[in-house]
């Protein structure tokens, strides 16, 4: 009986081994393909990878696909024989057959059917075809959100700021006409009067030696094309998710990116060095509305639109930098009905970008204090800790952001740590101007002590009535354009005498609270 059982066991094991080997042989025969890169070389695109796929017709077919396409959708642009995975084909920039915004996938014939057999990759060096590259105005990190009505005043020069941010509303520039722009075989229309307003802003700031950052905001304009399909349900929001989910949206977004990149690249309209895509986009319900989905799907939709803007802007101005926009909610548990924590959102965004071709995105963060109306950003609290599990990031723990970006999987294509622009942070003077003065002094000390921070933007030059009603008098000037105490302290930010004064008012040496990075 034991011998019989042993014989049965051996027979079963032998049969399993045969099945395993046969299965392995079939997998090996089917093979796989991996695309590693898609790069512009001259007027060609070269896509490279590895492949052990045996297409039944002896040919591997490379398909170009729009961001919203998958599987075997798209158009064949190149071929290679079985066993190779290097393809070359025309870029066709600014034609109806442009491949600048496409992703590329290998398709093989299997069982008589065209089948996608590889991952997909996008072009990752759009700057290689740029024709309007402008020199950057990089300098000191001190910046501000200027008051439009004070652009002709001398405040910015007096403050010594080197950077300024300004909101650019897509609904405004794409509603109406006056400017006809030919791109990718179509004519696109832009509002000449509105665009001229942005020209004036860029030129006036440039004339003062100030580096300009435009924040691209998707407001509810007359044309819903740029609004994501999942954001067209009538829900009121400040701004809406960008649309790369269908042909009309993806094509218009590409035209907008090219138009902006070209116009603001030292072509007589002012130069914009930096572009921030959206405002606090992890705060889905309020600032980048689309219907509630999980963080991975949400980040993927944002990444598709971000990549179109990135490729479009940098294909005109190679020196442009493009930033992802998040708020101060860091490791706060995501609540898809309202928001996603910045960290889980960035993890998903980065994973999606890396999977289809890593690019040199940067991060824009708003490390406001918690609660917002409290200007005391120097006293430790349980809200902001020096840990990746910190619920919030404020000026007290911006090292959490840059430590996160220092991880190997978060590095740029060149292996560098991505820079962070603290593009909106402000402190209220409602409860006294001294507190605000201390706060801007400490914020500057923290920012200047972190080598990965490329900008600190105080969120208001002048108070706004609507924010004052909410307890947020964050301007360095009051509503009558008169300077507050914080104006003088920001003007002299980093000056040892002013640091000493701020420390005396705070009752603690502010330099002892600085975290170096």
Instruction: Assess whether pLDDT exceeds 50 at residue 24.
Output: no
Q: What is the pLDDT of residue 335?
A: 84
In the block, tokens 């299997």 appear at 110
Count how many domains the chain has.
Answer: 2
CB 277 within 8 A of CB 299: no
Q: What is the pLDDT of residue 107?
A: 98
CB-based contacts of 134-137 (< 8 A; 24+ apart in sequence): 134/265, 134/266, 134/271, 134/273, 134/317, 134/319, 135/266, 135/319, 136/211, 136/273, 136/319, 137/162, 137/206, 137/209, 137/210, 137/211, 137/212, 137/271, 137/273
Note the pLDDT tens digit of each residue in 101-151.
Answer: 999 999 999 999 999 999 999 999 999 999 999 999 999 999 999 999 999
Domain C-terminal end among 95, 122, 149: 122
Residues 230 and 293 in one domain: yes
Q: Is residue 103 part of a domain?
A: yes
Residues 288 and 186 in one domain: yes
Residue ranges of the alpha helices (H) in 145-290? 155-159, 170-174, 192-207, 247-263, 284-287
CA distance 310 to 257: 8
Q: What is the pLDDT of residue 21?
A: 34
Q: Is residue 210 part of a domain?
A: yes
Domain C-terminal end among 73, 91, 122: 122
Tokens of 286: 């309020």
Note the pLDDT tens digit of each residue in 399-425.
Answer: 999 999 999 999 999 999 999 999 999
Q: What is the pLDDT of residue 31?
A: 66
Residues 69 and 144 in one domain: no
Q: Is residue 19 part of a domain?
A: no
Mean pLDDT of the residues in the chain = 93
Mean per-residue pLDDT for 424-447? 98
Report residue 23's pLDDT band, with 50, 70 and 90 as the boundaries.
very low
Domain C-terminal end among 122, 152, 185: 122
DSSP string for residues in 162-202: -EEEEEEEHHHHHSS-EEEEEETTEEEEEEHHHHHHHHHHH
Q: Is residue 74 part of a domain?
A: yes
Q: Is residue 37 part of a domain?
A: yes
CA distance 136 to 498: 31
Domain containing 45 — which CATH number?
Answer: 2.60.40.10
Note the pLDDT tens digit of each residue in 359-398.
Answer: 999 999 999 999 999 999 999 999 999 999 999 999 999 9
Q: What is the pTM of this model?
A: 0.93
Residues 86 and 148 in one domain: no
Cα of first residue to Cα of last residue in the chain, in angstroms, is: 73
DSSP string for residues in 343-391: HHHHHHHHHHHHHT-----EEEE----SSTT----SS--SSS-SSTT-S
CB 104 within 8 A of CB 65: yes
Residues 107 and 199 in one domain: no
Q: Is residue 127 part of a domain?
A: no
Instruction: Assess whether pLDDT exceeds 50 at residue 29.
Output: no
Mean per-residue pLDDT for 436-441? 99
Q: What is the pLDDT of residue 6?
A: 39
Q: Is residue 4 part of a domain?
A: no
Residues 90 and 140 in one domain: no
In the block, tokens 């800790």 appear at 385
Report residue 223's pLDDT band, with 50, 70 and 90 as the boundaries.
confident
CA distance 322 to 209: 21
CA distance 145 to 422: 12
Residues 115 and 143 in one domain: no
Note the pLDDT tens digit of each residue in 261-317.
Answer: 999 999 999 999 999 999 999 999 999 999 999 999 999 999 999 999 999 999 999
Mean per-residue pLDDT for 455-462? 97
Q: Is residue 14 part of a domain?
A: no
In the block, tokens 């990759």 appear at 121
CA distance 205 to 202: 5
CA distance 333 to 431: 31
Q: Is 15 exposed, middle or buried (0-12, 13-18, 19+ CB in 10 A)?
A: exposed
Annotate 254-265 with b (16+ C-beta within 10 A) or e (fewer). bbbbbbbbbbbb
Instruction: Assess whether pLDDT exceeds 80 at residue 19.
Output: no
> Smallest Cα–Cα separation from 208: which of 163, 166, 165?
163
Which structural domain, as residue segments, surrounds residue 65? 30-122
In the block, tokens 């939709």 appear at 301
Q: Is 30 exposed, middle or buried (0-12, 13-18, 19+ CB in 10 A)?
A: middle
Residues 320 and 448 in one domain: yes
Residues 111 and 141 in one domain: no
CA distance 392 to 367: 8
Report helix, strand and coil shares of the chain as percent, to nearest 5.
35, 25, 40
Note the pLDDT tens digit of each residue in 162-217.
Answer: 999 999 999 999 999 999 999 999 999 999 999 999 999 999 999 999 999 999 99
Instruction: Assess whether pLDDT exceeds 80 at residue 236.
Output: yes
Q: What is the pLDDT of residue 333?
A: 75
Q: Which of 10-19, 29-38, 70-79, 503-512 has the lowest mean pLDDT?
A: 10-19
Residues 500 and 479 in one domain: yes
Q: Report the 10 Å Cβ neighbour count for 478.
A: 16
Residues 112 and 154 in one domain: no
Residues 240 and 364 in one domain: yes
Note the pLDDT tens digit of each residue in 49-77.
Answer: 999 999 999 999 999 999 999 999 999 99
> Smallest Cα–Cα separation from 330: which of 397, 278, 231, 265?
397
Domain containing 388 — which CATH number?
Answer: 3.20.20.80
């Amino acid at each position: 009986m034991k011998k019989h059982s042993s014989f049965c066991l051996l027979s079963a094991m032998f049969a399993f081994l045969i099945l395993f080997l046969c299965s392995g042989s079939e997998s090996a025969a089917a093979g796989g393909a991996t695309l590693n890169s898609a790069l512009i070389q001259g007027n060609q695109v070269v896509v490279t990878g590895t492949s052990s796929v045996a297409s039944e017709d002896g040919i591997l077919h490379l398909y170009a696909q729009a961001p919203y396409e998958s599987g075997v959708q798209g158009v064949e642009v190149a071929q290679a024989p079985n066993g190779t995975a290097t393809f070359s084909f025309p870029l066709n920039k600014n034609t109806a057959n442009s491949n600048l915004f496409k992703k590329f996938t290998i398709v093989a014939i299997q069982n008589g059917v065209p089948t996608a057999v590889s991952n997909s990759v996008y072009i990752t060096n759009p700057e290689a075809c740029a024709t309007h590259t402008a020199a950057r105005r990089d300098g000191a990190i001190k910046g501000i959100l200027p008051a439009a009505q004070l652009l002709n005043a001398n405040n910015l020069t007096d403050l010594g700021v080197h950077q300024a941010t300004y909101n650019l509303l897509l609904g405004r520039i794409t509603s109406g006409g006056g400017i006809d722009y030919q791109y990718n075989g179509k004519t696109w229309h832009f509002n000449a009067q509105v665009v001229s307003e942005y020209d004036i802003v860029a030129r006036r700031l440039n004339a003062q030696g100030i580096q300009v950052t435009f924040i691209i905001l998707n407001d509810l304009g007359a044309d819903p094309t740029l609004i994501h399909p999942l954001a067209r349900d009538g829900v009121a929001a400040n701004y809406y998710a960008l649309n790369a989910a269908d042909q009309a949206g993806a094509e218009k977004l590409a035209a907008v990116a090219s138009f902006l990149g070209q116009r603001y690249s030292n072509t007589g309209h002012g130069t914009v060095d930096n572009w921030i895509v959206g405002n606090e986009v992890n705060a889905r319900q309020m600032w980048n509305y689309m219907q509630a989905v999980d963080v991975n799907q949400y980040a993927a939709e944002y990444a598709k639109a971000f990549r179109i803007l990135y490729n479009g802007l940098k294909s005109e101005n190679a020196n442009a930098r493009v930033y992802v926009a998040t708020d101060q909610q860091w490791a706060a548990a995501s609540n898809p009905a309202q928001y996603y924590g910045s960290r889980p959102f960035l993890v998903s965004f980065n994973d999606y970008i890396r999977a289809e071709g890593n690019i040199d995105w940067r991060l824009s963060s708003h490390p406001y204090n918690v609660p917002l109306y409290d200007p005391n950003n120097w006293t430790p609290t349980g809200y902001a800790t020096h840990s990746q599990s910190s619920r919030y990031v404020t000026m007290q723990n911006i090292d959490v952001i840059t430590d996160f970006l220092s991880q190997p999987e978060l590095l740029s294509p060149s292996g560098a740590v991505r820079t962070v622009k603290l593009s909106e942070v402000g402190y209220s003077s409602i409860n006294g101007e001294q507190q605000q003065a201390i706060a801007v002094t400490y914020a500057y000390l923290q920012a200047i002590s972190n080598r990965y921070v490329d900008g600190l933007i105080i969120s208001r030059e002048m108070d706004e009535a609507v924010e004052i009603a909410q307890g947020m008098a964050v301007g360095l000037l009051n509503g009558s354009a008169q300077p507050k105490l914080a104006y003088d302290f920001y003007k002299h930010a980093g000056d040892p005498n002013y640091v000493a004064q701020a420390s005396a008012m705070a009752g603690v040496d502010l330099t002892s609270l600085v975290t170096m990075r």
